[in-house]
């Protein structure tokens, strides 16, 4: 299934419907949207760091959840009421300094549920720092 929304259109919708994601600065960016996939970027600031200077677990979870939402919106259109019903994350290693990228793949897009898989890694790094799966409830279209 081809995307029906571009990265720019999704970001405009997020800015309009969820401006709170930018509290503390514009740290999230949509790098790309393609068939069955989206890549998001977190440029972490001091609000996202835990003692020791590593990106916090809640910040990584927020990135995975946002990436899941973006890949789903890209394929169903501007449906603000699609909501997370489950999110499972495994933290694999401590992220190093720099931007964190989340590649999120659409595993299933049904009439009522969407299932995605997200891989989080530092920019330019192959080793994952976290792996997440999420299920979203999709309202009738």
Average pLDDT per 10 consecutive residues for the chain, totaling 141 residues: 94 95 93 98 92 92 98 94 96 92 97 97 96 95 74
Rounded to two decimals, the pTM is: 0.95
User: How high is the pLDDT of residue 7?
Assistant: 97
Q: What pLDDT does 97 receive? A: 80
Number of domains observed in the structure of the chain: 1
Judge whether 101 lies within some domain: yes
Q: Is residue 54 part of a domain?
A: yes
- Asked if residue 40 is part of any domain, the answer here is yes
CATH code: domain of residue 19? 3.10.129.10
> Domain residues for 93?
7-137
Whether 2 is in a domain gets the answer no
Residue 91: CB atoms within 10 Å: 15
Residue 1 lies in a domain: no
- Give domain status of residue 45, yes or no: yes
Q: How far apart are CA 39 and CA 51, in angstroms?
A: 27
């Amino acid at each position: 299934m081809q995307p029906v929304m571009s990265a720019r259109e999704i970001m405009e919708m997020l800015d309009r419907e969820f401006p709170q994601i930018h509290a503390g600065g514009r740290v999230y960016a949509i790098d790309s949207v393609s068939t069955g996939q989206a890549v998001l970027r977190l440029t972490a600031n001091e609000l996202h760091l835990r003692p020791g200077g590593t990106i916090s677990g809640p910040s990584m979870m927020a990135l995975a959840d946002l990436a899941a939402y973006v890949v789903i919106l890209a394929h169903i259109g501007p449906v603000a009421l699609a909501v997370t019903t489950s999110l499972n994350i495994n933290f694999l290693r401590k992220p190093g300094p720099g931007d964190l990228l989340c590649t999120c793949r659409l595993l299933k897009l049904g009439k009522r549920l969407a299932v995605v898989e997200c891989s989080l890694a530092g920019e330019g790094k192959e080793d994952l720092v976290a792996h997440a799966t999420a299920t979203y409830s999709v309202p009738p279209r």
